[in-house]
Amino acid sequence: MDFLQDTLASFVSLVPVTLAQSLILAFVVLGIMIPFRMLSFPDLTSEGAFPLGGCVCGVLMAAGMPPVPAILVALLAGFLAGCCTAFIHLRFRIHTLLAGILMMTMLYSVNLRIMGRSNLSVFGSPTVFDRVPFLQPGFPASKIVMAGAIGLLAFLLLLHFFRTEKGTAVRAVGANPEMAEAQGINVWLATIGGVGLAGAFSAASGALMVQSQGFADVNMGLGILINGLAALMIGEAIVGKQSVLRQLAAPFVGAVVYYQLVSFCLAAGMPPPDLKLATGLFVLAMLALPSLKRSRGPAPARETFRE
Amino acid sequence: MLEIRSARKVFYKGQADEKIALDDLDLRLETGEFGVVIGSNGAGKSSMLNAISGALVLDAGRIVINGDDVTAMPVHKRAMRLARVFQDPMKGTAASMTVAENMLLAELRASRRTLRRGLNPARLAAYRERLSLLGLGLENRLDTRVELLSGGQRQSLSLIMAVGGSPDLLLLDEHTAALDPRTADIVMQATVRAVEALKLTTLMVTHNMQHAVDFGHRVVMLDAGRVRLQIAGDEKKAVTVPDLIGHFSVKTDRMFLAS
């Protein structure tokens, strides 16, 4: 009984901090979902784009740049990183996963070059989280409001975009590239733009994280991809992925639920080093579920991925 | 109008298994003309269609549509002028998207895509009306994902998508070959109705000799990457299935079955 009470008490006390963190990391999940689901382009760039955004933002803040422009420059850097991954895949016909691994490996050096050292404190610099009216800066509430507002804005913009004529064309590239091309859609442009957009979201997440935690670190992206995937799987299990609305809501719902779950596991006494193993096994189980179901009932619609 | 001028394509050039797919092929199809292409397997029918659509880059020769040279244009640029129905029903539609979304993609084939909302009420009403012409009930399934439709329904949808917007050129690549006889008949009838109503310049590849006899203004027989025989006008009207089969130097099993 004591154990349960302790666990619950420490979990509840962590809820606001975890919520703030998960709303910031929802952007990475978005950056994983867009290539994976909208473009059928399993992409690993986010593992490098997330710290890239953080490093760029950190350096700019240390140099005295205001927080909003720093995020925008980080966003642009992430966009370029995503574009590079897509270009490597399209031009040299390298598997999307390998293109992503190449990109994130190279980005590690780039990130080190940008910062000049492995970590950088920007504590005390002004951040976007200082600007929330009526709330004291630095507390989780201001982070929840600010990250939530930016997330809502991104969600609404993407929801509109993917229902426009251009956005429908981008989704067609993911659904059937050959058909999309025959319908006059420039597959290169849509893929590069789409993966670039995803990189921008991952980098924005890194930039917000740096502003939230007060320091940038080249290793801050370690394992972010598998966490993001786990969050995406949970989100899709909860809200589904049958429509654009549901598919876009999944990263946000998933991020919030997943990080609370992690927080609960830690509060319950799970050793932090085991976390990645547990997350990995969870993602594996979610990905394996369809094929386990298939061995019983009829085969479901095939999921097609590019080479 | 479609013109293919001395189109040449060699696969595995300079290697032991060199294969001449198109051997200085010339073909001309007038505006509004319905050409039917026959030929044994490996005669170059698919290579020709791919060369017209842009999926295959020629070694030499030109492709001209309505007087414009499109030889250097990539597939997505040529899509402004031509539409294609593939043999495989899976290929011509986006499976994970809805019927209405597929119709939208086809409607925008020849135009610039904007940042305005794609599926609006006016469009949905228009799609409903166009799909009702098929008589397959697709007009009530606009929000159904295409992967849930049958092969025949998907191919019918592909056809409606292709003929919408009256393309300068319609390419039909054995588009009824993967369907059961009854469905194939429905799709073929719908094809002929659309081609006649819209006076589309059409090139149809088929292995079905009866179709080659029944439909089109001109039969083009390919062999080893060249046009071996063309039958048009009154001669086309009088031609029979045994006549056509008689022209095949190598009679494949498939030809016998089709007869």
Question: What DSSP designation does A261 have?
Answer: H
Homologous superfamily, domain B2-258: P-loop containing nucleotide triphosphate hydrolases (3.40.50.300)
For position B178, what pLDDT does the model report? 87
Interface contact flag, B109 A187, Cβ < 8 Å: no
The answer to whether B83 and B146 are in contact (CB under 8 A) is no
Q: Could you identify the residue written with the tokens 């095939």?
A: A302
Interface contact flag, A163 B118, Cβ < 8 Å: yes
Q: In this predicted model, what pLDDT tens digit does every residue of B132-145 receive, in sequence order?
A: 988 888 999 999 99
- When pLDDT is averaged across residues A4-10 and rounded to a whole number, the result is 87
Q: Which two tokens stand for residue B248?
A: 């095949």
- Asked whether residue B225 carries a pLDDT value surpassing 70, the answer given is yes
- Asked whether residue A303 carries a pLDDT value surpassing 70, the answer given is no
* Phi, psi dihedral angles at A100 (to 5 degrees): -65, -40
- When pLDDT is averaged across residues B68-75 and rounded to a whole number, the result is 94
- Asked whether residue A295 carries a pLDDT value surpassing 80, the answer given is no
Measure in Å the smallest separation between the Cα of B194 and chain A Cα atoms: 19
Measure in Å the smallest separation between the Cα of B77 and chain A Cα atoms: 6
- When pLDDT is averaged across residues B241-255 and rounded to a whole number, the result is 67
Q: In this predicted model, what pLDDT tens digit does every residue of A263-294 receive, in sequence order?
A: 998 888 888 888 888 888 988 888 888 788 77
- When pLDDT is averaged across residues A6-28 and rounded to a whole number, the result is 92
Residue B183 pLDDT grade (very low, low, confident, very high; cuts 50, 70, 90) = confident
Question: Best of B113, B127, B145 to disrupt the A interface by mutation (most A CBs within 10 Å)?
Answer: B113
Interface contact flag, B76 A187, Cβ < 8 Å: yes
Least confident of A114-123, B10-19, B102-111: B10-19
- Asked whether residue A297 carries a pLDDT value surpassing 60, the answer given is no
Q: Could you identify the residue written with the tokens 């030499």?
A: B60
Please state, in angstroms and rounded to a whole number, the distance separating the CA atoms of residues B100 and B219: 35
For position A289, what pLDDT does the model report? 83
85-104 of B, contacting A, C-beta below 8 A: 91-97, 101, 104
Q: Could you identify the residue written with the tokens 């719908």?
A: B190
Least confident of A65-79, A143-157, A203-217, B225-239: B225-239
Residue B76 pLDDT grade (very low, low, confident, very high; cuts 50, 70, 90) = very high
Interface contact flag, B110 A186, Cβ < 8 Å: no
Q: Which residues 6+ apart lie within 8 Å of B165 measured at CB?
A: B83, B106, B107, B109, B110
For position B244, what pLDDT does the model report? 85
pTM of the model: 0.89
Residue B255 pLDDT grade (very low, low, confident, very high; cuts 50, 70, 90) = low
Interface contact flag, B84 A181, Cβ < 8 Å: no
A178 contact residues in B (CB cutoff 8 A): 91
Rounded percentage of chain A residues whose pLDDT exceeds 90 = 73
- Average pLDDT of chain B is 90
- When pLDDT is averaged across residues A229-242 and rounded to a whole number, the result is 93
Interface contact flag, A182 B114, Cβ < 8 Å: no
Measure in Å the smallest separation between the Cα of B89 and chain A Cα atoms: 11
Residue B258 pLDDT grade (very low, low, confident, very high; cuts 50, 70, 90) = low
- When pLDDT is averaged across residues A98-126 and rounded to a whole number, the result is 94
A168 contact residues in B (CB cutoff 8 A): 97, 101, 104-105, 113, 118-119
Least confident of A284-288, B4-8, B101-105, B221-225: A284-288
- When pLDDT is averaged across residues B180-189 and rounded to a whole number, the result is 90
Pairing of strands B226-232, B218-223: antiparallel
Radius of gyration of chain B (CA): 19
The answer to whether B226 and B24 are in contact (CB under 8 A) is yes
A245 touches chain B (CB under 8 A): no
Q: Give the architecture-level CATH label for domain A2-294.
A: Orthogonal Bundle (1.10)
Measure in Å the smallest separation between the Cα of A168 and chain B Cα atoms: 7
- Average pLDDT of chain A is 91
B117 contact residues in A (CB cutoff 8 A): 160, 163-165
- Asked whether residue B177 carries a pLDDT value surpassing 70, the answer given is yes
Interface contact flag, B75 A169, Cβ < 8 Å: no
For position A38, what pLDDT does the model report? 95
- When pLDDT is averaged across residues A177-194 and rounded to a whole number, the result is 96
Within chain A, strands assigned E span: 119-121, 215-217
Interface contact flag, A165 B79, Cβ < 8 Å: no
Q: What is the DSSP string of A44-98?
A: -THHHHHHHHHHHHHHHHHTT--HHHHHHHHHHHHHHHHHHHHHHHHHH---HHH
CA distances from A177 to A170, A190, B34, B76, B150 (A): 10, 10, 29, 11, 21
- Asked whether residue B57 carries a pLDDT value surpassing 60, the answer given is yes
Q: In this predicted model, what pLDDT tens digit does every residue of B108-133 receive, in sequence order?
A: 998 899 999 999 999 999 999 999 98
For position A305, what pLDDT does the model report? 52
- When pLDDT is averaged across residues B2-15 and rounded to a whole number, the result is 92
Of A160, A161, A182, the CB nearest to B75: A182
Residue A99 pLDDT grade (very low, low, confident, very high; cuts 50, 70, 90) = very high
Phi-psi region of A276 (alpha: psi -120 to 50; beta: other; left: phi over 0): alpha
A174 contact residues in B (CB cutoff 8 A): 96
154-183 of A, contacting B, C-beta below 8 A: 160-161, 163-169, 171-172, 174-176, 178-183
Q: In this predicted model, what pLDDT tens digit does every residue of A208-226 receive, in sequence order?
A: 999 999 999 999 988 899 9
The angle that helices A46-62 and A96-115 make with each other, rounded to 10 degrees, is: 20
The answer to whether A36 and A230 are in contact (CB under 8 A) is no
Q: Which residues 6+ apart lie within 8 Å of B233 measured at CB?
A: B217
